[in-house]
Chain A
Amino acid sequence: MLDGTTNGAVYGLLGLVIVLVFSVTRIIFIPQGEFVAYAALSLAVMQMGKVPGTIWLLLILAVVAALMNSIEAQRHGQSLSQIFKIFLKTIAPSLLVSALTIWASPLHLPLLIQALICVFIVTCFGPLVYRVAFQSLEDASSLVLLIVSVAVHLAMTGLGLLFFGAEGYRNPPFWGDSFEWGALRFSGQTILIFALSLVLIFALWIYFEKTLTGKALRATAINRTGVRLMGISSRKSGNLCFTLAALICAVSGLLIGPTTTIFYDSGFLIGLKGFVAAIIAGLTSYPGAMLSAIVVGIIESFGSFWASNFKEVIVFTLIIPVLLWRSIKAGSHEES
């Protein structure tokens, strides 16, 4: 039960990501699981004192994105120095993070610092993936975006295998102590997961309610054309939203890393459960996604207790009646 709720809290975070990305960009963020796995596995590799392979991908992506930006700038007739600036601007964060990683990896730094570096790495992926795969398709139908999303997931899984190999890793907990409270036993990790989830949710809420950029993101979600007319760039929103998404995914990956063994392809299943939660909440409500994620976590842990082999079957079959209910509730909105 407690296990269920802790996993549920992480699924909830991922559910939030799905909701965030979908509502701003209409992209159903299937590759989020890979972000989660990349974070957890990069940490595992750094724990062994090696340089995680993810940074090479990061660099390649950064170069591709920078080239794409430069070519676009050139088409708009900008001067060479401007193009160069744009190139540098796109590539700089990834370069910095990679340099940091290469420098830090062999040093066996404390766990928390390594974790922080992993968060940096994975967060850098967000905007780059958006730039390379999605940005030029921003006006495509959400079905095309979905297929692209699946394709990105496929490519990232393969790359994950390339960087981390087929064996799984389990990270050490950030907080190894455990506490007893009545009949319940909390491990430090559990408390950490809850606390961090709550903090992140609260931060998101503040961000979307109180800040101008947060409001801009929300506006993009509601009306893209209108937002463009008001001078908000939907590209910038997409970029920002993917950065945020990658950040949350990285944190979730680090949180769930110590509770279960992570393989290069486990991200997908973890992500999908967040996904089930997000869909139960209708892809638009943050608190709803969190709540239903905890429910999913509980169902899963009960499922694994009663019929452990069939727990995945149970969780994913659950989604179908929910989807049906959602779809009926949404009604048949006809194109016009």
Chain B
Amino acid sequence: MRNLELKHLKNFQWPLLLLLVLVVAAIPVPDFWIYQANYIGIYSITCLGLVLLTGILGLTSFGQAAFVGIGAYSTAYLTLNFDLSPWLSLFIGLSITTLSALVIGLITLRMSGHYLPLATIAWGLSLYYLMGNIDALGKYDGLQNIKSLSIASLNLGQGRIFFIFTWICLILFIRSLSKFLDSRLGRAVRAIKSGSQMPQAMGINTFHFKVLIFCLSALLSSFSGWLLAHFQHSVTPSDFGLKMGIEYLFMTVVGGAGYLWGAVIGAGIYKILDDQLQVLLPMLIGTSGSYEVIVFGMAMVLILKYLPDGIWSLFGGLNTIEHQHELWADAEPLPAKTQSNAGEVILKVNKISKRFGGLLAVNEVSFSIKSGEIKGLIGPNGAGKSTTFNLITGVLPVTSGEVSFLGKRVEHLSMREISQLGISRTFQHVKMIPEMSVLENIAIGAHTRGHAGITAALTGQDKREESRIFKEAHKQLLRVGLGNYMNEPAGNLPMGPQRLMEIARALCADPTLLLLDEPAAGLRFQEKNELAQVIKNLKAEGVSVLLVEHDMDLVMKICDSLVVMEFGNVLVEGSPVEIQNNPQVRAAYLGTEH
């Protein structure tokens, strides 16, 4: 009952917030605070972009202020010199921003680790000096006398009407973005933060998503710059310098980089603190100057030390989105691939080799897998099993040899392309998004089976496809026997269910061939039995599996045939019984008597 009420409340959450904005504007709040709130709204929009980029995608940017600058300067220049309507210049500004974000993004987003944040510092600085040195943009004095925004004959001005406009925009942005994060594309973005290998293996083009989010955050910044220019009626380079870029990051980190509302909290705290300090500190110190940075710097260090998830984490906590059965009750199932006939060869590995410098890790390994077959790849430590696995899935390039899948050569395709062809895998060390629910984690597997684009995701037009995806994810969840864990954060699961979840995620991609990388590693006896049962059930349903495994018991129990590797070579291939009785295999595992 309580749940139901909560859900109803949730439906009214957004209208209520909008109403709140109107109420605040209507009651006699002092003008000073409305003025502050306008700044907070403007800053929050930029910070939203940073939340997406830094908190959710995991890319730190110190250069966001530069995009605010592009938005602000374009509208200032165009409205002053060509007397364009601000509404037109908004779109021109956004287009310029998109173009520059694309160029910068395509160059810098390929960088890894700390190289990217350093690059953002570099272009933040370059752009600042550029703005400060161009005559047409008023050099370091900037541009003045920019007109106010107006809708028809209604002047938005700097007061309450502007406040309503800005905050409604802000709330609508937050609503769209929270819809986006709860969509197929949003899940893909959230998956990228913890490394690109898993998303790639699920067919997600990680680079594409990085550029997308980068552009999206730049657009938000540019929009906020447009607002700022018409709100302040002037722009100067120092509003968009590296210092401001750092301060935007400060707001985001303080508020909570992982939460959309953290942006608003952070911007609020920053603006109020900034204002108080600018009055207070010079009074304390006796001379004027921008001393507030001292406090900001120290506050940032303290917050990173003691509250690394920001202030919103105090209220928000873990933000798993609960999904209910009703959502997909009457959704159609996702279209499935036609599977090949049992007994047909689907994967053919022909003399593949891999050389690491002087070490020949895999030497002319050949085997094939038939549809509906469970093949085990076993061997002592260092035999080259994992390398072979990585060669097939495209993690590593082959030195020589061929891999064909369904008659198509795949050895030079990327991980992502191979997965799109229908090879789906799990990982030796479970790779999941701990904050996402089990169901959502599994739904990542269905990424390539959906088609809704970014606009659909932002506006919530992808509802039907979403419910189809969740129906599929739920089906796979039940298939591996995790029905009880549906809305549990994946990080709370014990090891055994985590492995099963990975299998369900791989199955969600509707694979022709399932590759399991040591699925029994680290499992307890009971968990191993459950795993064996799941794999047996899959076999009964006609799924083909390649299994790399150490656990002899498990392998002997469930595999149809085995390939034994030693020192990079295939030692022998045959049925479990043949392998068990093979003297060479015994020698490889137990040593020989001399």
Which residue from chain A places its CB closest to the CB of B297 in the assembled complex? A155
Q: Which of A156, A165, A275, A326 makes the CB contact (< 8 A) with B297?
A: A156
Which residue from chain A places its CB closest to the CB of B206 in the assembled complex? A332
Question: Nearest chain A CB to B207's CB is how many angstroms away?
Answer: 10
**Contacts known (A310-B129, A334-B197); A320 close to B297, Cβ less than 8 A:** no
- In the bound assembly, the distance between CA atoms of A69 and B576 in angstroms comes to 63
B257-308 residues with Cβ-Cβ distance < 8 A to A are 285, 287, 289-298, 300-301, 304-305, 308
B286-332 residues with Cβ-Cβ distance < 8 A to A are 287, 289-298, 300-301, 304-305, 308
**Contacts known (A146-B117, A320-B119); A336 close to B429, Cβ less than 8 A:** yes
Q: Which of A140, A161, A320, A330 makes the CB contact (< 8 A) with B123?
A: A320
Cβ of A153 within 8 Å of any chain B Cβ, yes or no, is yes
Which residue from chain A places its CB closest to the CB of B124 in the assembled complex? A316
Whether A151 lies near B304 (C-beta < 8 A) is yes
Whether A151 lies near B294 (C-beta < 8 A) is no
A68-124 residues with Cβ-Cβ distance < 8 A to B are none
Whether A332 lies near B196 (C-beta < 8 A) is yes
Q: Which of A136, A144, A146, A324 makes the CB contact (< 8 A) with B111?
A: A324
Could you list 30 examples of A-B contacts with CB < 8 Å?
A: A133-B301, A144-B308, A150-B300, A151-B300, A154-B243, A154-B297, A155-B294, A155-B297, A156-B297, A158-B292, A158-B293, A161-B289, A161-B290, A162-B285, A166-B289, A272-B125, A279-B118, A313-B130, A313-B133, A317-B123, A319-B119, A320-B119, A323-B119, A324-B111, A326-B115, A327-B110, A327-B112, A328-B110, A330-B113, A333-B112
**Contacts known (A320-B107, A327-B112); A147 close to B300, Cβ less than 8 A:** yes
**Contacts known (A143-B60, A158-B291); A28 close to B113, Cβ less than 8 A:** no
- In the bound assembly, the distance between CA atoms of A155 and B293 in angstroms comes to 6
A-to-B contact residues, CB < 8 Å: 28, 133, 136-137, 140, 142-144, 146-148, 150-159, 161-162, 165-166, 272, 275-276, 279, 309-310, 312-313, 316-317, 319-321, 323-324, 326-328, 330, 332-336
Secondary structure at chain A's binding surface: helix, strand, loop or mixed?
Answer: helix
Which stretch in B166-174, B246-254, B404-412, B468-476 binds the other chain? B246-254
- In the bound assembly, the distance between CA atoms of A147 and B108 in angstroms comes to 19
Whether B289 lies near A162 (C-beta < 8 A) is yes
Whether A161 lies near B114 (C-beta < 8 A) is no
Which residue from chain B places its CB closest to the CB of A269 in the assembled complex? B125
Cβ of B163 within 8 Å of any chain A Cβ, yes or no, is no
Cβ of B62 within 8 Å of any chain A Cβ, yes or no, is yes
Whether B115 lies near A158 (C-beta < 8 A) is no
Which residue from chain A places its CB closest to the CB of B135 in the assembled complex? A309
Whether B301 lies near A148 (C-beta < 8 A) is yes
- In the bound assembly, the distance between CA atoms of A151 and B298 in angstroms comes to 7
Question: Nearest chain A CB to B102's CB is how many angstroms away?
Answer: 15
Contacts of B250 in A (CB 8 A): 151
Question: Nearest chain B CB to A36's CB is how many angstroms away?
Answer: 17
Secondary structure at chain B's binding surface: helix, strand, loop or mixed?
Answer: helix
**Contacts known (A146-B114, A162-B294, A166-B289); A316 close to B123, Cβ less than 8 A:** yes
Contacts of A276 in B (CB 8 A): 122
Whether B300 lies near A154 (C-beta < 8 A) is yes
Cβ of B455 within 8 Å of any chain A Cβ, yes or no, is no
Whether B297 lies near A334 (C-beta < 8 A) is no
Contacts of B111 in A (CB 8 A): 323-324, 326-327
Whether B126 lies near A317 (C-beta < 8 A) is yes
Given A152-B297, A279-B118, A316-B125, 16 extra CB contacts under 8 A: A151-B296, A153-B297, A157-B293, A158-B291, A158-B292, A161-B291, A309-B133, A313-B130, A317-B123, A319-B118, A320-B108, A323-B122, A327-B113, A327-B115, A330-B112, A332-B112
Which residue from chain A places its CB closest to the CB of B104 in the assembled complex? A320
- In the bound assembly, the distance between CA atoms of A272 and B282 in angstroms comes to 29
Which residue from chain A places its CB closest to the CB of B294 in the assembled complex? A158
Contacts of A166 in B (CB 8 A): 289
Whether B60 lies near A310 (C-beta < 8 A) is no
Contacts of B115 in A (CB 8 A): 279, 323, 326-327, 330
- In the bound assembly, the distance between CA atoms of A166 and B111 in angstroms comes to 37
Question: Nearest chain B CB to A131's CB is how many angstroms away?
Answer: 12
Question: Nearest chain A CB to B141's CB is how many angstroms away?
Answer: 14
Which residue from chain A places its CB closest to the CB of B130 in the assembled complex? A313
- In the bound assembly, the distance between CA atoms of A217 and B123 in angstroms comes to 33
- In the bound assembly, the distance between CA atoms of A336 and B194 in angstroms comes to 10
Q: Which of B108, B117, B290 makes the CB contact (< 8 A) with A158?
A: B290
Question: Nearest chain B CB to A155's CB is how many angstroms away?
Answer: 3
Whether A165 lies near B119 (C-beta < 8 A) is no
Whether B301 lies near A151 (C-beta < 8 A) is yes
Which residue from chain B places its CB closest to the CB of A166 in the assembled complex? B289
Question: Nearest chain A CB to B493's CB is how many angstroms away?
Answer: 20
- In the bound assembly, the distance between CA atoms of A323 and B196 in angstroms comes to 20
Contacts of A324 in B (CB 8 A): 107-108, 110-111, 119
Contacts of A148 in B (CB 8 A): 300-301, 304
Specify which of A137, A156, A275, A320 lies most central, judged by the most chain B CB atoms within 10 Å of its CB.
A320
Question: Nearest chain A CB to B56's CB is how many angstroms away?
Answer: 14
Cβ of B483 within 8 Å of any chain A Cβ, yes or no, is no
Cβ of B195 within 8 Å of any chain A Cβ, yes or no, is yes
Specify which of A150, A166, A279 lies most central, judged by the most chain B CB atoms within 10 Å of its CB.
A150
Whether B129 lies near A312 (C-beta < 8 A) is yes
Question: Nearest chain B CB to A271's CB is how many angstroms away?
Answer: 11
Contacts of B194 in A (CB 8 A): 335
Type the 1/0 row for B185-210, where 1 means its CB is closer than 8 Å to any CB of A. Answer: 00000000011110000000000000
- In the bound assembly, the distance between CA atoms of A316 and B130 in angstroms comes to 11
5 nearest interchain CB pairs?
A155-B297, A158-B294, A154-B297, A151-B300, A327-B111
Contacts of A146 in B (CB 8 A): 60, 114, 117
Whether B125 lies near A137 (C-beta < 8 A) is no
Q: Which of A28, A140, A154, A312 makes the CB contact (< 8 A) with B125?
A: A312
Contacts of B117 in A (CB 8 A): 143, 146
B359-392 residues with Cβ-Cβ distance < 8 A to A are none
Contacts of A157 in B (CB 8 A): 293
- In the bound assembly, the distance between CA atoms of A272 and B123 in angstroms comes to 12
Contacts of A133 in B (CB 8 A): 301
Question: Nearest chain A CB to B237's CB is how many angstroms away?
Answer: 12
Contacts of B119 in A (CB 8 A): 319-320, 323-324
